[in-house]
A and B are shown apart, each in its own frame.
Chain A
Amino acid sequence: MDAGLLAQYVMNGLMVGMMYALVAVGFTLFFGVLDIIQFAHGDVLTVGAFTALLTFVGLHSAGRGSAAVLLAMIIVAIFAMAALGMLIARYLVLPLRTAPALNTLLITLMLGTVLRESVRLFYPQGANPKPFPALLPSNSVSLGNFNLRLDNAILLTAGALMIAGVEFLLNRTKLGLAIRAVAQDQETARTMGINFVAIVLIAFAIGSGLAAFAGIMNGLYYNEINFGMGLYLGIIGFAAAIIGGLGSIYGAILGGFLFAALQTLGTVALPFASAYKDVFAFAVVIIFMAWRPTGLLQEKISERV
Chain B
Amino acid sequence: MVSEGRNKSRASLRPGIIALALATLYLCALMAAERQPLIIGLLVLAVVAILGAQRMGWLAAISRSFADREDTLGVLAIVAAVAVAASFHDNHFVLLLIVTVLLYTVATLGLNIQFGYAGVLNFAGASFFGIGAYTSAVLNAHTTVPPILVLLIGGLIAALIGSLLLWPVLRTRGHYAALVTIAFALLLKAFLEVNDVLGGPQGLQVKGMTIGGWSFNDNIELGNVELSFYLSYFVLSLALLAAAFILVRRLERSWIGLNLDALRLDETAASCFGLDIARWKITAFTLGNFLIGIAGALFGMVGGFVAPNNYTFADSLILVSILLLGGVGNPWGLAVATVIVIVVPEKLQTLQEYRFLLYAVLVIAVLLFRPEGLLPRPARNYFPGWRP
Instruction: Count A-B contacts at CB 8 Å.
Output: 118
The answer on a CB contact under 8 Å between A95 and B171 is: no
CA distance A103 to B365 in the complex (A): 12
Complex interface bits, A275-299 against B, C-beta within 8 A gives 1, otherwise 0: 1101100110111011001000000
B180 touches A101 (CB 8 A): no
Question: Total interface residues on A, using CB and 8 Å?
Answer: 39
CB-nearest residue of chain B relative to A102? Answer: B174
A106-B320, A106-B324 known; 8 new pairs, CB 8 Å cut-off, are A37-B178, A96-B368, A110-B321, A235-B183, A278-B190, A285-B180, A289-B183, A290-B180
Cα of A58 to Cα of B353 in the assembled complex, Å: 28
* 15 A–B pairs (Cβ distance < 8 Å), ordered by A: A101-B175, A102-B174, A109-B320, A110-B367, A117-B356, A118-B357, A121-B357, A235-B179, A242-B176, A282-B186, A286-B183, A289-B179, A293-B168, A293-B176, A305-B173
Are A113 and B356 in contact, CB atoms less than 8 angstroms apart?
Answer: yes
CA distance A238 to B361 in the complex (A): 24
Q: Quick check: is B363 within 8 A (CB to CB) of the other chain? A: yes
Least CB separation from B166: chain A residue: A290
Distance in Å: Cβ of B146 to nearest Cβ of chain A: 33
Q: A290 touching B168 by the CB < 8 A rule?
A: yes
Q: Does B187 contact A (CB under 8 A)?
A: yes
Which residues of B are interface residues toward A (Cβ below 8 A)? 121, 123, 165, 167-168, 171-176, 178-180, 182-184, 186-187, 190-191, 194, 313-314, 317, 320-321, 324, 353-354, 356-357, 360-361, 363-364, 367-368, 371
A37 to B121, CA, bound (A): 15
- Name the contact of A113 in the complex, choosing from B179, B314, B324 (C-beta under 8 A): B314
CB nearest neighbor in B for A117: B357
Instruction: Report if A253 contacts B (CB, 8 A).
Output: no
- A123 contacts partner chain B, Cβ-Cβ < 8 Å: no
Residue among B123, B184, B360, B363 facing the most chain A CB atoms (10 A cut-off): B360
Given A110-B317, A242-B176, A232-B186 contact (CB < 8 Å): yes
| CB of A229 closer than 8 Å to a CB of B | no
Q: Cα distance A102–B321 when bound, in Å?
A: 14
Binding site for B on A (CB under 8 A): 37, 39, 92, 95-96, 99, 101-103, 105-107, 109-111, 113-114, 117-118, 121, 231-232, 235, 238-239, 242, 275-276, 278-279, 282-283, 285-287, 289-290, 293, 305
- With a CB–CB cut-off of 8 A, which chain A residues contact B314? 113, 117
Q: Is A99 a contact of B171 with CB atoms below 8 Å?
A: no
Cβ contact of A275, chosen from B173, B178, B194, B361, cutoff 8 A: B194
> Which one of A95, A103, A114, A305 contacts B176 once the chains associate, using CB atoms below 8 Å?
A305
B363 adjacent to A106 (CB under 8 Å):
yes
A285-B194 in contact given A110-B364, A111-B360, A290-B168 (Cβ < 8 Å): no
> Once the chains bind, are B367 and A105 in contact (CB under 8 Å)?
no
Whether A110 touches B187, Cβ cut-off 8 Å, given contacts A95-B368, A239-B179, is no
